[in-house]
Copies of this chain bind each other. A is one copy, B any other.
Amino acid sequence: MFTEIEGDFLSGQKISEELGCSRTAVWKHIEDLRQEGYELEAVRRKGYRIKTIPDKISHNEISLGLKTETLGRKIHFEDSVTSTQKIAHQLAYDGVPEGTLVVAEEQTSGRGRLSRAWYSPKYTGVWMSLILRPNLPPAKAPQLTLLTAVAITQAIEEVTGLRPDIKWPNDILINKKKTVGILTEMQAEADKINSVIIGMGINVNQSLEQFPEELHSIATSLSIELGEKVNRAELIQTILMKFENLYQKYLQHGFYPIKLLWESYAISIGKRIIARTITGTLEGKAKGITEDGVLMLEDDQEVVHYIHSADIQIGSD
């Protein structure tokens, strides 16, 4: 991963001679490079110089050195997609093997839970979808959201040294700001999962200016928190390794070992929360999660409510 380089100046004349194309064509290619994220300096009489090259990743950077057995052994790598979930859904329906991964440098209409938009600008994040084929009933799928949160949290810790918190059910926060979103979807028969498609959106190398204004107070990236850029290919590899480890544990021993790990990272447990569900709003203390991954909220009358899905706002301890 290279970002800043010290290129020599090269005149447009020289470029056009060496490449055997017109000055207009040179200018057009320079503009294309700018569109792709290259930062170019143009100085009169000296010519052009590359200042920074975009922080791209490649299929090979992810594949080479990847030590997993099944996850990411097959990678669909794309420069720009509408959403990696959409592509993964189609691949899953067409029968690709477990572990197939869709990675894109940019999503033009990435989305999260309940079809909410997810902002995924080019060359800055990890936007990917992982296809699994566990032999489980559909009711177990929420457990995989929690497993994914643990895998990503462990990977971020290992790669950056940062200490993320998990907010039930599908967010990862750093310093209370949203850094990661997880979207677990499935294709299933009435009583059997055919495929689970786990979308992961990780803000990695955005600067604060690269976030829309309205997200400044609620979202962040790993590089903002760390103060330096993070190698995205290494992060992807580490997530796949952590994920495979947890997933094998889960298939062998069930959800309990995952639940313990999840609780060790969970920010909301023990705190007062407000849970907004489709049917209404509940307020009380987050007691923990059940063996099935369902959130237990104890209200002020000490009645425990079981919450399958909600937006959570965390209050005081």
The chain A residues found within 8 Å of chain B, CB to CB, are: 86, 89-90, 93, 113-114, 135, 137-139, 141-142, 144-145, 169, 183-192, 194, 278, 308-309
Q: Once the chains bind, are B89 and A190 in contact (CB under 8 Å)?
A: no
Residues of B within 8 A of A185 (CB): 187-190, 194
Bound Cα distance from A187 to B183, whole angstroms: 13
Q: Is the interface of A mostly helix, strand, loop or mixed?
A: mixed
Q: Once the chains bind, are A191 and B137 in contact (CB under 8 Å)?
A: no
Q: Once the chains bind, are B189 and A113 in contact (CB under 8 Å)?
A: yes
Q: Once the chains bind, are B135 and A190 in contact (CB under 8 Å)?
A: no
**Interchain Cβ contacts under 8 Å between A and B, 6 examples:** A138-B138, A139-B139, A142-B190, A169-B190, A186-B186, A187-B187
- 7 additional A-B pairs beyond A113-B189, A114-B189, A141-B188, beta carbons within 8 Å, are A89-B93, A138-B138, A138-B188, A139-B139, A183-B189, A185-B190, A191-B309
- The closest CB in chain B to the CB of A135 belongs to B278
Bound Cα distance from A54 to B192, whole angstroms: 39
Residues of B within 8 A of A93 (CB): 86, 89
Distance in angstroms from A42 CB to nearest chain B CB is: 44
Bound Cα distance from A191 to B192, whole angstroms: 15
- The closest CB in chain B to the CB of A139 belongs to B139
Bound Cα distance from A190 to B184, whole angstroms: 6
Residues of B within 8 A of A308 (CB): 137, 191
